[in-house]
Structure 1
């Protein structure tokens, strides 16, 4: 797996970034607006850097670079609001090189002396249409029935007029202008169709650049502006929407990256991913710039502040092609109606989302074990909650050293490379046996290994790693929820060095099945709350422990546990006295930035099956809603991949794990609700099959935004780490 650029690409990106910072500053953008939104000097400078030759085939005098290289330029172009039809010019130059016969014009376009652009619609059906860059273009490449033609608009073909973002767009009567046929027939039409797909990718990536910069400006302002005596960035009403949008904007870029990777791989997902990347970026960027402007309050409306430039450009860039929502319908047809399209060549792609051959091998081994060692009766007991724990399956996986693939070899019993560990955990989830019991046991095994006494390592750790016992987490309390460091459950050291524990823990899921609980207790009430806590392992069969069931509407049992004079030896303490916060950090070592992609994928499959049974899969509304959920699934995947990659490769932690968890859980909740609506009224039923599964997904999803840290906690972490906003938590 790789999210890094090559050295050459990083140098190229930095070169374009430096040039655009100087030559496409907001001062220059404003100046260009005074003359119709085109900066001729900027255009010439981009040409000198080879921008317009990037995608032109080498045999036609270009550089023959890949989609990803051009996408890097487009991201920087979006960030700096380039004044000119760059996305259109990139694909027009490539078309000129592919179709040939216009060497002199191509040379002028590559050199920046002439601007070439494209028309979005077949001029045989729509001779009069809006053309990006039309007011400055020397040539427009368009489809005319079975021909691809070069239109020379002429000075009187269209008249520039004031428009939303003051770009050089113009409505042109292409049918009235002179035209030269560049190519005819299937091959020429395929090249032009591929160019339009390439344009969608460039605009999607460019919009992600616009959105990212708008969020940066808003965050910077929120770190300076005060209201009611506080920096406004400390208000969750400001920081949390920005955190949500950071996930959306990064997701938009990564959908574009996925599309490029899919084209390179020849994946059937390539065409729908292009459509979804474009649709998703249009929506995400529009919301990001709007929230960015809103962060500035009334000042955001003033033309003196730059944020309004991003607000207008994010909406104006894609609208030349028409309603972006139509692209969601297009994605639906590509996913469910067999619609195909010609795609551009990808060129070299440095990114890679493949976990590797070792990952495939361990997944195949797990699949074989579940196929041959697990009975149908055992599988029928599987459930996403603790109640899905099947002791025989748990033990079988331990015997094959695959119960805890995320743990190091001395605990798991097997050396599994990092990416294969991630894949193995995903395969367990795909098989329906990624139970919380195994995950929590893995966390506690690691904590005992790192902080436990010799007694715990001798008497408890082998039982956990051998698959003989489960463990529970005793963090939350009735009065403090996610604020675990406000715990009041008290541990008092006795004269003989042992500890007496008194108090209550809430949401101790699995305590009815577990042998031990990892318990956070207050050992010093006279110091700040984060400094007076200590961690213990408490046997749940100890006298004084009471486990009381708490049932949820999710078909899931959790518990409230009471500790009344529970005495344990000091050897069952983890870490230093009053050092509980440090001890808890060990649990973070297991965080790979996962989410809920596997269950979302299963939910989509159930919805596809049920809508087909209901006879509505062929309807546009159905295809759109399934396509939208698919976009959310793929973004969830990409955010999780980045989190996993950054963890394995020891990259800076910018809140990638919280982004992955928060985004996927929130989309799981909203999409499960929507698919329940789509398949009503049969989705009311809990009957076996897809209807019952969708019903369960809706109830399951509510909890995913709460346990493991609420979405609000994760939003604060994303805002602080990803956007540099001030701390919003006590």
Structure 2
């Protein structure tokens, strides 16, 4: 897996960034109005080779890959480049591919920045009058005309300035009214042209991601300096949390562009749909990001004194020259579910890699073989996504095969899988329908015992855990504290050579099945709340422990546990007295930055199955355009969840700077899991109301399961605060 640019690409990005910071400053962008074109900037870009970045070397260009052009477009979006850059990149390549001797002069002037050429998106035989990006300054336009690809020469008299939303050099041109030459004809020529349009979708998507990211940066910076009611407005969750949500959306859009390029390079069957979704997603995410950024500025954002309005208008203007972005998700639906084929551009070298590697494939095969050999149909009937799916026999067999504690370091006795292999293993278990939250908690407890436990714990408890004979639950949350575990009031007081524990723990999932609970207790009420905590291992079969069931509508059981004078020896303490926070931090070694994409994927497959079974107006529901769009949106949410999770895993594995990427993965995927679960149970109704075995029961179950995903492991609000602080540099929003 790799999210890094090559050294050459880093140098290229830095070069373009420095040039654009100076030559496409907001002062220069404003000065380019009302034409929306900066001729000096354009010449400078050409001198740097920007306009020929996608032109083959044999034609005099740089011959770089589509990913290199995407890097340029991200910077162009960030700086609101004044000119039709995405269109020119495509047109210059088309002139090199199709032009021949008859366009040599124009081609040379285009890549040198002396002339501008653009493209028309629709067949001019059917729609001769079209809006053309950069049409106000374009000497020529490449277009399809029936079975031909033509170059239309547009005189200055045919290019009339017209006020438009963002003051870009947009013009409506009658392309049938001007001289034209045929560049090429036939299927190959048409395919080459269509590939250029597909490339444009990705280039404009990357530019929109750059616009969105910069708008959020400007909003965050303003929120750190603007005070209201005596506080920086960035301290208000009403300001910071929407920005955190949009940071996930904008980053996800950039990664969708990257995924599309990677999919094309790999020949993935869904590559065409990924292009469409990348275009749609970025148009939507950028529009929402700039709107929220402007909102952060309040009334000042509406004035022309602040630059944020420029981002707002440009984010809408760039993609709309193609038409309604909703058409792109409709196109994605057809490509995913109606067999529509896309002409895919040649993307060239692509450094970004989302492959999990050979270790991931090895562990997947091992898990598949284990289940084939050890799991009976009767055992499968007991599988459940919650603790209630715990099977003691299977737990022991997984331990014997070293498949139980996959993330636990080898020095503790675990499998010690890489971050990437763990992702694959989780997916492999999901394919088998087996979830084992008991193993995830127990391996964390095993790690803490190994790091902080006494010899007695290491000899009496740890071996049982490692053999799969016993499991543990967590005693963190309390009825009055919820996610604020540092507010724990369950008391541990010295009692002879040991401790007496009194209090209540809430949401002690698995306590009815577990042998032990990892207990966070209050040992000193007279210091700061996070300094007076101590951790213990408490046997759940001890006198004074009461486990009371709490049932949820998610078809799972959790527990409230009561501790009334429970006596344990001091040897069952973990770490120093009042040092519980440091002890608990050992569990961070197992941080995985995971999300809910494995459930999202299974839910999407179940919905696809139902849509093929359900009839609608005499045809399968999956043939309906509306259904295709909703399934395509779910696919986009799934893919972005995976990509954000992959980034979180990558920064951990490669020890890269981590700007709340784990919280981003958890928060984004859980929120999309929940919203898609609501939508898909609607889409497949009324069959989805039933718990009929098969896909209907799965959709029903996923709807109920998703309700808790935004709460487990810290609520979305907690994670939004982390994202705002570490990802956007906003001040703390929690006291």
TM-score (norm 2): 0.98
Does residue 565 of structure 1 match 2:568?
Answer: no
Structure-2 residue corresponding to 1:530 = 530
Distance apart, 1:420 and its partner CA: 2.1
What residue is the counterpart of 2:9 in the other structure?
A: 9
Question: In the alignment, which residue of structure 2 is the partner of 1:247?
Answer: 248
Partner residue, 2:90: 91
Q: Does 1:160 align with 2:165?
A: no
1:190 maps to what in 2? 191
Q: What is the distance in 2 between the residues matched to 1:181 and 1:14?
A: 39
Alignment of 1:483-502 (within 5 A): 483-496=484-497, 498-502=498-502
CA distance in 1, matches of 2:399, 2:632: 39
Count of residues paired in the alignment: 728
Q: Which residue of 2 aligns with 1:58?
A: 57
Matches within 5 A, 1:75-474: 75-101=74-100, 102-414=103-415, 416-474=417-475
- Determine whether 1:583 maps to 2:564: no
Shift of residue 413, structure 1, vs aligned partner: 4.6
Residue 626 in 1 paired to residue 631 in 2?
yes
Deviation at 1:418, TM superposition (A): 4.1
Distance 1:604 1:417 in 2: 27
Q: Please, what is the CA RMSD of the aligned residues?
A: 1.0
Cα distance, 1:681 vs structure 2: 1.1
CA distance in structure 2 between the aligned counterparts of 1:434 and 1:423, rounded to whole angstroms: 14
SS state at 1:534 partner: strand
Q: Spell out, residue by residue over 1:602-639, the C-alpha distance to the aligned partner (whole angstroms, 9 max, x if none).
A: 11111111111112110000000000000000000000
* 1:541 alignment counterpart: 541
- Whole-angstrom distance in 1 between the partners of 2:411 and 2:340: 51
Deviation (angstroms), 1:84: 0.2
Distance in structure 2 (CA, Å) of the matches to 1:328 and 1:421: 32
Question: How far apart in 2 are the matches of 1:196 and 1:515?
Answer: 61
Q: Pick the aligned partner of 2:722 from 717, 720, 726.
A: 717
Consecutive unaligned residues of structure 1, counting only runs of 5 or more, are none
Q: Distance in 2 between matches of 1:355 and 1:703?
A: 28
Conserved 8 A contact 1:406-1:422:
no
Shift of 1:117: 0.9
The alpha-carbon distance between structure 1 residues 417 and 667, as it changes in their structure 2 partners (threshold 3 A), is closer
Larger displacement relative to structure 2 (76-85 or 93-102): 93-102
Question: How far does residue 33 in structure 1 lie from its aligned partner after superposition?
Answer: 1.0
Distance across 2 between alignment mates of 1:472 and 1:318: 51
Shift in Å at residue 588 of structure 1? Answer: 1.9
Q: Distance in 2 between matches of 1:610 and 1:350?
A: 38
Cα contact 2:408–2:416 (8 A) shared by 1: no
* 2:679 is the counterpart of 1:678: no
Distance, in Å, in 2 between the alignment partners of 1:32 and 1:610 is 54
Q: Which residue of 2 aligns with 1:510?
A: 510
- Structure 2 unaligned blocks of 5 or more: 615-619
Q: Which moved more, 1:169-178 or 1:566-575?
A: 566-575
Cα distance in 1 between the residues matched to 2:476 and 2:320: 51
Contact 2:139/2:156 (CA < 8 Å) preserved in 1? no
Please give the alpha-carbon distance, in whole angstroms, between the structure 1 residues aligned to 2:693 and 2:159.
Answer: 62
Q: Is the contact between residue 419 and residue 650 of structure 2 (CA under 8 Å) also seen in structure 1?
A: no
Distance in 1, Cα, partners of 2:177 & 2:520: 78
What is the alpha-carbon distance in structure 1 between the residues aligned to residue 417 and residue 472 of structure 2?
Answer: 23
Distance 1:242 1:585 in 2: 28
CA positional deviation for 1:412: 3.9
What is the alpha-carbon distance in structure 2 between the residues aligned to residue 722 and residue 414 of structure 1? 32
**Equivalent pair of 2:386/2:435 in contact (CA under 8 Å):** no
Task: Report the Cα distance in structure 2 between the residues aligned to 1:330 and 1:593, rounded to whole angstroms.
Answer: 32
Instruction: Provide, for residues 506-547 of structure 1, a one-character-per-residue CA deviation record: whole Å limited to 9, x for no partner.
Output: 000000000010111111100111111111111111111100
Q: Does 1:691 align with 2:696?
A: yes
Report SS of the residue matched to 2:558. Answer: strand
Counterpart for residue 617 of structure 1: 622
Aligned to 1:663: 668
> Aligned partners of 1:417, 1:587: CA distance in 2, in Å?
16
Q: CA deviation at 1:415?
A: 5.3
Note the alpha carbon deviations across 1:39-76, whole angstroms, 9 max, x for none.
00100110011001110011111111001000000000
2:617 is matched with which residue?
none
Q: Is the 8 A contact 2:407 2:416 kept in 1?
A: no
Which residue of the partner structure matches residue 21 of structure 2?
21
Whole-angstrom distance in 2 between the partners of 1:452 and 1:45: 65
Tell me, in whole angstroms, the C-alpha distance in 2 between the residues paired with 1:67 and 1:457: 55
Secondary structure of the equivalent of 1:634?
Answer: helix
- Give the C-alpha shift of residue 600 in structure 1: 0.9
Hey, what's the Cα distance between the residues in 2 that align with 1:412 and 1:262? 38
Distance 1:664 1:165 in 2: 34
Q: Give the structure-1-normalised TM-score.
A: 0.99
Indicate conservation of the 8 Å contact 1:668/1:701, yes or no. Answer: yes
